[in-house]
Amino acid sequence: MGNTLLDLLTDADHLSSSIYDVAVVALFDGSQREECVRWLIDHRNADGSWGETLSWQDRYLCTYSAAVAMMASGNTTLGYESLDELEEIPDCYPENWTANFGGLVAAVDTFAFWRLGLTVDHHEKVQTAITYDSKKWRTIVGHDAFYDPLKSIAGFFAEWAYILPNLDIERLINNFQVENGSISNSPSASAFCLIACKDRHLESEQVTRLRNYVESLNPFNKEVGILDQVPHFVTSWLLLYIDHSYGEPIPNTESITALRATLAEQGKLVSVAGDSTFPGDMDTTACAIIGLNLPTAERARIMSAFEDMFHEDHYITFRYERTPSVTTNVHAVAAWPENPHAPVILDWIAKEMTKQEDLPHCKWHSSPFYTLGEIGRLFADIPHPQAQSLARRAGYSLLDHQLANGSWGWQGSTVQETSCSVLALDKLRKANIIRADLIDRPIRQAGAYLSTGATDYRSLWIGKSLYYLKPLERWLRQLALAAANREYFPATETKPISVLYVDDNPSWRRVFEATMAYYEWDFTIMEDAASALRYLEHKVPDIVVIDLVMPGMSGYQAFEKIRQMKLDCSVVATTAHYSTETADEIRKMGFDGYLEKPFSVSTVVDYLRKIAS
């Protein structure tokens, strides 16, 4: 499989196998059990545990579920040996929660007790998590929309069908079963639902389809991940990293057509699992908006439909979820910077940055460098002082934490963390948020690291268990290597360019002022056309950049007066209300050029250099 965007968008090899999911599938006594157990034995760690070192919760959950799977299949000695490993895990590895950790442990507990007569005394932290999630789910199950597949995550976390006696298992299956027979495309949820059906002696056509799906899950034949498929997730994240300022075209593929169709539906969030009963989430929806580079009006239409997802000063990722994610809110701001909520969201992100000492962790990813990368890369071009400040903080934090071999990694070097960091720094130097001379060498060093060896897949994304996305790993590496080989204009000019910028919008005036100050250009900023004309009576700059739509005298009217003055300067129009008619009018009147808003800082610099040359 190639590494072009088109290749990666059509790559079916998405997820890594999830040890937890394979172990839970092995709990059901069916034709798949033997192969699942054999696969688990092959993937056991040298110390006798299962799972990643990036999270003790992941290692605990994987080891516990695998141990119970061993015992359920008759491998009692191996099962007890693995249970003995649980006592050491909380003291060995960093803390990084997997989604619904306590609830998943509780589901395995229930199976172990009722099927094996086994009671496990969990570590205090684990028991606290079980108590928290039990209270949460006993509340959620009583909500009116609990069985609504367009709003509820009950299908994805259908392990609770095995725990809660008042849960209507037949209704759950009827509402959340998808075409392949699974429950919300979740192998583990499907297996626990099937076990619950067997315990309750439920038989139906739906249960038969569910059994056929679970028994088809052979990890030697296909990846048994936390989801059976993630088409919209992969498509959205691949597009998310396109830098549209380079004119990269968006391919016309079936997956992108499907993504556009989902966004076109009023009030529907994009689902990570494509067209399934797994409900949409704010993060994937925002990433899809950014990646498809939708017009401002379309962004506003989509995002404004989800006011119920906004709580005081931040968005939640899923309905029912009340623990906020930093990167969900970064993506929400970048998807619609004009959002009236954007200022308070930016303040909330700033507080999270401070609280976490400028190494903010995302609840869906194990590394702070992913979060810093998204803040630096996406906020660099947003014309808001707080966004620019956060982008700068993220960039300096990345520079401070580069490893000696040129890479980045929270628990050792990885391609994904390094690539996210490089792309952020590349955007920051291009947008002149941080001086290029401070960034060039770190990026070249990172390029040398990325140029060596094969892609080192590491499980960094957090679902029910940690996993990775193979196409995204390859795409990020390719984009980061390209960034490492780019060259940029130096931060000083042999002859400073003089510019007069006229705009009634204070946000755009601040962005322009910061750009001109960085390049040490001779600049003057006015907030109305009348003031600008009085200025031009005494001093003539190289370039006048003037907003077309302003109160009082418009940019069009001011341009006519400037031309009557016969000044030796170029006049550039700028507007946020660009259309074919606007372009025709600009050309007809004789402007020397135009800058469409929202423009990036780098666009301004490169364009004005061309006009002045």
Give residue 1's pLDDT.
45
The pTM for the full model equals 0.79
Domain annotation for the chain: domains and CATH numbers = 17-215 (1.50.10.160), 231-484 (1.50.10.20), 498-612 (3.40.50.2300)
- CB neighbours of residue 297 within 10 Å: 8
Q: Which of 75, 17, 11, 6 is nearest to 41 (CA)?
A: 75
Any idea what the Cα angle at residue 481 is, between residues 480 and 482, rounded to 5°? 90
Q: Helix (H, G, I), strand (E, B), or coil: what is residue 524?
A: strand
CA R_g for the chain: 27
- CB neighbours of residue 125 within 10 Å: 15
Any idea what the Cα angle at residue 461 is, between residues 480 and 315, rounded to 5°? 100
Give residue 14's pLDDT.
72
Q: Mean pLDDT, 10 residues at a time, over the chain (613 residues)?
A: 75 81 97 98 94 88 97 96 90 77 95 95 93 88 88 90 88 96 96 95 96 97 90 92 79 91 93 88 96 94 95 91 89 97 97 94 90 97 92 96 94 92 95 90 91 73 80 89 71 67 85 68 89 91 92 93 90 84 88 80 74 77
| Cα–Cα dist 183/187, whole Å | 8
| Cα–Cα dist 139/162, whole Å | 16
Q: Which residue has the tokens 């004009």?
A: 338
| Cα–Cα dist 137/485, whole Å | 50
**Is residue 257 classed exposed, middle or buried when 0-12, 13-18 and 19+ CB atoms within 10 A define those classes?**
exposed
| Cα–Cα dist 492/442, whole Å | 21
